[in-house]
Amino acid sequence: MPFDPKFFQELCVAPAPTGFEAPVQRVLRRRLGDGWAVHADPLGDLWAEAGASGGPQVVVTAHADQIGLIVTYVDEQGFVSFAPIGGVDQQLLPGRDLVIHSAAGPVLGVVGRRPTHFIPKDERGKAPDMHEQFVDIGAPSRQEALRRIAIGDPITFAPRFLELAEDTYATLAGDDRAGVYVAFRALELYKAAPGSASLIAVSTVHEETTFMGAKTQARRLSPEAIIVVDVDFATDYPGMDVKKTGGEVKLGAGPVVARGTGSNAPLFRLASEVAQAEGIALQVRAAPGSMSTDADEFMAAGAATLSLSVPLRYMHSPFEVVRGADIEAAASLVAALARRLGEAIHPGWSVP
């Protein structure tokens, strides 16, 4: 199946910072429709299943949440203070347009910035600390601002989705809507051509802050194998030193699989074999320590875990760049790997 940019766009522009992931989960519910049994827990995780019941259980998971901000205070002049949700770089904000997602709907705003003319020379080129920055929503007073927004409202970068060139997309929240696309596209592919395993796709929450969704699912699930899909740092642009970033990763060269602490050794080998058999290009990233993804939580639960990633440029910025072919290839790999796992899993199979 070809890459579906419309589905990917719907996922990316759904405003869902950590703690506010419901819009992404609604996109998935609409995508799956009435022909699926869709489940959710009180934390907000969502999952669905395809394939044989009673066979080996394989899980593919990705996190729904994105980085963002949250309203913390409104001053008497109507200017909005905020705090980060996840890893937001304060240098990205001055002069940027943002969206505050209020109960009544989106409220547009800009992050205020003093003109360079009025910034002392020794402060130029430096972003103010996060607590010193503010959003201007055009409100003349605190009272008027609080008619439109509320303390605790989430804030995101403006939801723009650009096709820079054929099959190359720039968007907010590529981390990790690319992974969510992979997980649920793989589920569709597997349903169309199932194997003897049961494949469960999970969209987790709270990855950018506490990994709480993965912690919850690691306790609930008891699969034989878990494939954790996230994004990885592409190195194919100026200023990236592959020796410092831990290896070479390129857009258009296929999905990335971690080798080392991030993946079970037999599962890594099987994924490599499946990719070769399916004609799927695969990049390998050395994993010497913590993955800093949901994979860490799932590995701690004792399941054989594979860390699979989509190459991505400019992580945690307003425009992250990905290639559709890499995303679709990752989904095809997951579906094919699930079919092979149904045949390969046996007692002791995951022991190196």
Q: Is 191 in the same domain as 42?
A: yes
The last residue of a domain, from among 107, 142, 157: 157
- 199: in domain: yes
- 293: in domain: yes
**13-69, pLDDT tens digit by residue?**
999 999 999 999 999 999 999 889 999 999 999 999 998 777 889 999 999 999 999
Q: Is 318 in the same domain as 179?
A: yes
- 316: in domain: yes
Find the CATH number of the domain harbouring 177: 3.40.630.10
- 183: in domain: yes
Q: Is 247 in the same domain as 306?
A: yes
The pLDDT of residue 234 is above 60: yes
Q: Is 303 in the same domain as 193?
A: yes
Tokens 């569709």 found at = 188
**247-296, pLDDT tens digit by residue?**
899 999 999 999 999 999 999 999 999 999 999 999 999 988 888 898 98
Q: Is 125 in the same domain as 21?
A: no
- 24: in domain: yes
- Distance CA(135)–CA(75), nearest Å, equals 11
- 71: in domain: no
pTM: 0.95
What DSSP assignment string belongs to 263-327? S-HHHHHHHHHHHHHHT---EEEEE-S--SSHHHHHHHTT-EEEEEEEEEBSTTSS-EEEEHHHH
Q: φ, ψ for residue 237 (rounded to 5)?
A: -150, 165
**98-147, pLDDT tens digit by residue?**
999 999 999 999 999 777 776 677 666 777 889 999 999 999 999 999 99
The last residue of a domain, from among 157, 185, 209: 157
**Residue numbers of the domain that contains 293:** 5-66+160-344
Q: Is 183 in the same domain as 211?
A: yes
| Tokens of residue 262, six digits | 């991030």
Contact 251, 311 (CB under 8 A): yes
